[in-house]
A = this chain, B = another copy of it.
Amino acid sequence: MSNKILVIAPHPDDEVLGVGGTIARFAAEGAEVYVAIVTKGCPPDYSEEMTQKGRQEALAAHHVLGVKETIFLSFPAARLDTVPHRDVNRQIFELIKKFQPDTLFIPFYGDIHMDHQRVFLSSLVAARPNNPYAPKTIYAYETLSETNWHAPYLTINFVPNVFVDISPYLETKLEAMQMYASQIRPFPDERSEETLRALATLRGSTVNHFAAEAFYLVRQVV
């Protein structure tokens, strides 16, 4: 599918929730996968210690998945609407220029978290087709605990058109999620192993596979 993949995550763990199995599969199949975490927790909501813990968890999870390199940007989490849009665009543009990925994964525009909405838009601006390093393929991913909680039909709802078979990689994804001890919750919280498994089962079954991750193709140039 792809040789170089860049995954943009608003917060640590979004990339595992949405793309974990796909990262594991394509890394195993030889792709170079890069993950950029756009925000960091800031006082008073987060202590420096919590932020460092989150980053250690991310690195551990990415190690499980076979991520080649993790990039931590430092925009303030849960406050991305206070940062000039253009500044976020620029830093994502620089990442694209540096890594020159052929495939880009971005969060979904209809997620309830405004940080996700902002990162979606900034990523699309950074990846405009007149950017000489524009990735050939852009996918939006779903994030349990964000994507299902926005307003039915009033905001845009996630409906996938691409299904990646992760049957042999579901356990790896769940293992990676276990690295995010601070983020995982007991079922029936959406951020639980049971729910991740149910979503993968449903997405897989829709296309007659045992487990899948599902995406929306935003743009592809062939």
Establish whether residues B216 and A152, one from each chain, have CB atoms under 8 Å apart when the complex forms: yes
For A162, the chain B residues whose CB sits under 8 A away are 217, 219-222
Give A67 Cβ to nearest chain B Cβ, in Å: 19
Copies of the polypeptide in the assembly: 6
Contact with B along A132-160 (1 / 0, CB 8 A): 00100000100001001111111111011
Contact with B along A6-40 (1 / 0, CB 8 A): 00000000000000000000000000000000000
Establish whether residues A109 and B154, one from each chain, have CB atoms under 8 Å apart when the complex forms: yes
Establish whether residues B112 and A124, one from each chain, have CB atoms under 8 Å apart when the complex forms: yes
Binding-face segment, A47-55, A58-66, A169-177, A202-210: A202-210
> Is A129's beta carbon under 8 Å from chain B?
yes
Give A141 Cβ to nearest chain B Cβ, in Å: 13
Give A84 Cβ to nearest chain B Cβ, in Å: 5
For A207, the chain B residues whose CB sits under 8 A away are 129, 219, 221
What's the tally of chain A residues with a CB closer than 8 Å to chain B?
69
Closest to A209 in B: B188
Establish whether residues A221 and B154, one from each chain, have CB atoms under 8 Å apart when the complex forms: no
Establish whether residues B208 and A129, one from each chain, have CB atoms under 8 Å apart when the complex forms: yes
Establish whether residues A210 and B188, one from each chain, have CB atoms under 8 Å apart when the complex forms: yes
For A154, the chain B residues whose CB sits under 8 A away are 108-110, 140, 156, 216, 218
Compute how far the CA of A5 lies from the CA of B42 in the bound complex, rounded to whole angstroms: 35
Establish whether residues B220 and A217, one from each chain, have CB atoms under 8 Å apart when the complex forms: yes
Establish whether residues B218 and A204, one from each chain, have CB atoms under 8 Å apart when the complex forms: no
Compute how far the CA of A1 lies from the CA of B86 in the bound complex, rounded to whole angstroms: 36
Establish whether residues B155 and A161, one from each chain, have CB atoms under 8 Å apart when the complex forms: no
27 contacts between A and B (CB under 8 A): A79-B85, A109-B151, A109-B154, A109-B155, A112-B125, A114-B121, A129-B149, A129-B207, A140-B151, A140-B154, A148-B206, A149-B206, A152-B161, A154-B218, A161-B217, A161-B218, A161-B220, A165-B221, A187-B210, A188-B201, A188-B204, A188-B208, A188-B209, A194-B201, A198-B201, A198-B205, A207-B219
